[in-house]
């Protein structure tokens, strides 16, 4: 599954530095607005210790982790929704992602300019969120003006449903409320899906701090961000983008030792990747054998045939059964044979809902 998260924020808050750390791609990180004009795209692996265990057990020819795509979108400024700072172009990039990571500057540094003159995370968050709201409002109002007369005149069920859903959106947006805070029913979600509203996307706030505060885990700015995020049920990840970029240059063992010296249990990046993965309701199933051990991303609630289709469409079309064992059973018992002897290797049919950590072998038959 191709999944994308977009990194947004005001200019010079640490977006590109964070992107560099995530992807090790060396994106331009400069101390002036709009250093990023075209979005940088990089693929990051989702940390999963289960693959390390499978690698030792099966000694496969290759190991393939599941991945996540991060897009570094150029810095937004006040007025972006009306075209300020090439805003409309940047906003179009945000519409293409599945989730948003909003980087918020929570550190003081006189050598790094701030586009608004001083550090104020709540103001910064409100600037970004207001521009995203205004961008959605423009689309909502434009669509309402096109369908309102038809819907009210013809009373067509689908047209009325769309109009009512859009009016709900308009009412919320005019109050400065992002659409993700609204509870839409299944029919409303279906008619709104094609608009790809930015404020309907789920969001994580990445509080970018200095090294000392990353180790301490808090500062006064972070507390403000957390209070703001709690109001809409969003998560905050605390990280020092500069430190994460430095850590990304080390080999695994060196990075682990350096983090231990700093007193960090997990890197901010690992936390961000996992939080973004969880935010979208994503899980992982695994396939394992001497040729390949691989992690596959699926959405929570998907059936065994749907997950089989992630590997290959023929697997879903000709699905017969799935041989399934849980990773926890394999780890505890030490081998496939032991899992089978313990009666924990299962045959699951078309109605089986895949669970995180399931290790699967799909039986299928496609007749031509």
Residues 6+ apart with CB under 8 A from 228: 121, 122, 125, 205
- What tokens appear for 363 in the block? 């039986």
Count of other CB atoms within 10 angstroms of residue 259: 17
pLDDT in tens, 285-328: 999 999 999 999 999 999 999 999 999 999 999 999 999 999 99
pLDDT for position 22:
76
- Please report which helix (H) or strand (E) contains residue 137, including its range: helix 121-154
Count of other CB atoms within 10 angstroms of residue 187: 14
- Percent over 90 (pLDDT), the chain: 54
CA pair distance 49, 319, nearest whole angstrom:
29
pLDDT in tens, 165-215: 999 999 999 999 999 989 999 999 999 999 999 999 999 999 999 999 998
pLDDT interval class at 67 (50, 70, 90): confident
CA pair distance 122, 250, nearest whole angstrom:
34
Q: What is the CA radius of gyration of the chain?
A: 23
Prediction pTM value: 0.81
Strands lying side by side in the sheet with 99-105: 40-45, 67-72, 4-8, 99-105, 202-208, 235-239
pLDDT in tens, 82-123: 444 434 455 777 788 899 999 999 988 877 666 666 889 999
The DSSP-derived string for 332-352 is: HH-SHHHHHHTT--EEE-TTP
- What tokens appear for 308 in the block? 């089989």
pLDDT interval class at 70 (50, 70, 90): confident
């Amino acid at each position: 599954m191709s999944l994308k998260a977009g990194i947004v924020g005001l200019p010079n808050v640490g977006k590109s530095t964070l992107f560099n750390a995530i992807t090790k791609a060396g994106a331009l990180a400069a101390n002036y607005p709009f250093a990023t004009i075209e979005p940088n795209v990089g693929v990051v692996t989702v940390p999963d210790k289960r693959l390390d265990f499978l690698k030792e057990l099966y000694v496969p020819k290759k190991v393939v982790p599941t991945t996540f795509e991060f897009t570094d979108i150029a810095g937004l400024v006040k007025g972006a929704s009306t075209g300020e700072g090439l805003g409309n172009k940047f906003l179009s990039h945000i519409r293409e992602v599945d989730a948003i990571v909003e980087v918020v500057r929570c550190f003081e540094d006189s050598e790094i300019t701030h586009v608004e003159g001083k550090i104020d995370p709540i103001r910064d968050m409100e600037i970004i969120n207001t521009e995203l709201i205004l961008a959605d409002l423009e689309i909502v109002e434009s669509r309402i003006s096109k369908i309102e007369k038809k819907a009210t005149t013809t009373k067509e069920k689908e047209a009325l449903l769309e109009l009512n859903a859009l009016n709900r959106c308009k009412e919320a947006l005019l109050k400065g409320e992002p659409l993700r805070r609204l509870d839409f029913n299944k029919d409303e979600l279906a008619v709104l899906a094609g608009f790809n509203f930015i404020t309907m996307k789920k969001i994580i706030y990445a509080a970018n701090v200095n090294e000392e505060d990353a180790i301490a885990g808090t500062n006064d700015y972070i507390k403000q961000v957390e209070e703001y995020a709690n109001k809409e049920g969003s998560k905050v990840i605390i990280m020092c983008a500069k430190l994460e970029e430095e850590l990304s240059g080390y080999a695994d063992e060196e990075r682990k030792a350096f983090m231990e010296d700093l007193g960090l249990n997990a890197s901010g990046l690992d936390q961000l990747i996992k939080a973004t993965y969880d935010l979208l309701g994503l899980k992982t199933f695994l396939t394992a054998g001497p040729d390949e051990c691989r992690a596959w991303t699926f959405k929570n609630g998907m059936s065994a045939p749907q997950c089989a289709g992630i590997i290959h469409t023929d697997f879903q079309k000709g699905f017969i059964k799935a041989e399934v064992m849980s990773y926890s059973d394999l780890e505890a018992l030490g081998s496939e044979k032991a899992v089978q002897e313990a009666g924990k290797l299962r045959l699951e049919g078309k109605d089986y809902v895949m669970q995180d950590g399931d290790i699967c072998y799909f039986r299928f038959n496609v007749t031509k």
